[in-house]
Structures are given as C-alpha cells and as structure tokens.
Structure 1
C-alpha cells in the first residue's frame, strides 16, 4: 500500500539447551556474523547481536513480510545446523 510505513523492533533471546555454556569465544564472532547474514537474507535489519556462553541477544528491525516466529525458527535451525556442520563442539548443539 502506498504511503505506508512500518517500524517493528523485535528483541530475540535464544538460549542454549539446558543453559549449557556451549557458545565458545573461539567461534562467537563467526556465529554472530552468520546469524546476521540469515537476518539480512530474509530482508530484515540486524541492529545488534551479542552471544554470551549460554544465550544470544538479537535486536531486529522486522520486515512485516515474515512473521516473528518464522524468523526465529529460521535463525535457530540454520545457526544450530551451521555450528554442528562446522564441528565446533564435540557434542550436538541445540
């Protein structure tokens, strides 16, 4: 629709299963860049992202063409798969 403007900010917090300290400093920055790429590829803006050892905070400017839950699902699934494929951990990352 013409002359329509949306401004939606979403703060996601993703927690590692059982709050284990699995996000290591050795791959934290690379993970943050990967997640930022997922967000940008879906047409959203990533204002800030920071990963702690047991959780990640992300502030997103959401494009209304995708639901909040669909973006969360895509971030969680793709980043977990990426961590497991890169074999940063001995056990499976969830």
Structure 2
C-alpha cells in the first residue's frame, strides 16, 4: 500500500492495520482524486493478497472507505494514534470509533451503510 501511495507521488506518513480495518495516513497531492487513489489501493492490494495466497479464501475489501483531513499541527497526534491501534482498540471497537469520527466531523450517516463486523 505504501508503494501504491508513493507511485502516485503522495507522501505516506503512517500505516497500520487491525483484522477488520486499516488506517492509511498520507499527504495527498492535488493531482489525483481521493476516490481514484482508494480504488487503486483497494484493488491492487486485494490482487496482491490473492496472487500471493495470503488468505485461504478470496480476499476482498468492504465497499467504501472513510476519509478525514487533519491540519499540519495534528500530524504527530494522528501518527501516534495509528501506531497504537492495538492498544487503542482494547478500549473501543472500530465501529463505535468510526461513528465517533462521523459525529465529531459532523457527517450525517445511515447505519445501513456503515462498515460491517467481521464474520
């Protein structure tokens, strides 16, 4: 994923994942739309996982993604947050946290279209 971001000339700042989600924090250049970049990240990484047989079943990302912007003064806080996902998610589930983000950023949402828990 870092390579995909860098290939498109964006700057990877931090990346870390959990079994049910991943955080990718990068400085984005205005030469590409976010939706195009996310389509490439999800499509190329799915293909890579499946080609290399890192999963016993066909790997697919869920539809959609969440994207939030931060000011330069918040960069170190966001990096610390991403690097400490394992500790952080012992206190709050990903879905509950995602709803908190949506509320904090004043984004209206419909529960039917939120991420699904792992089966």
TM over 0.5: yes
Tell me if 1:61 matches 2:7. Answer: no
Structure 2 portions without partners, runs of 5+: 61-119
Higher relative contact order (CA 8 A, sep 6+): 1
Larger Rg: 2
Deviation at 1:60, TM superposition (A): 1.2
Higher normalized strand content (fraction of residues):
1
Higher normalized helix content (fraction of residues):
2
Counterparts of residues 41-80 of structure 1 (less than 5 Å)? 41-80=7-46
Deviation at 1:63, TM superposition (A): 0.8
> 1:26-76 CA deviation, whole Å, 9 max, x = no partner?
xxxxxxxxx001100010001000011111001110010000100000000
Deviation at 1:89, TM superposition (A): 1.0
Structure 1 portions without partners, runs of 5+: 1-34
Q: Secondary structure of the residue that 1:87 maps to in structure 2?
A: coil
| TM-score where L is the length of structure 1 | 0.62
| TM-score where L is the length of structure 2 | 0.50
Q: Secondary structure of the residue that 2:15 maps to in structure 1?
A: strand
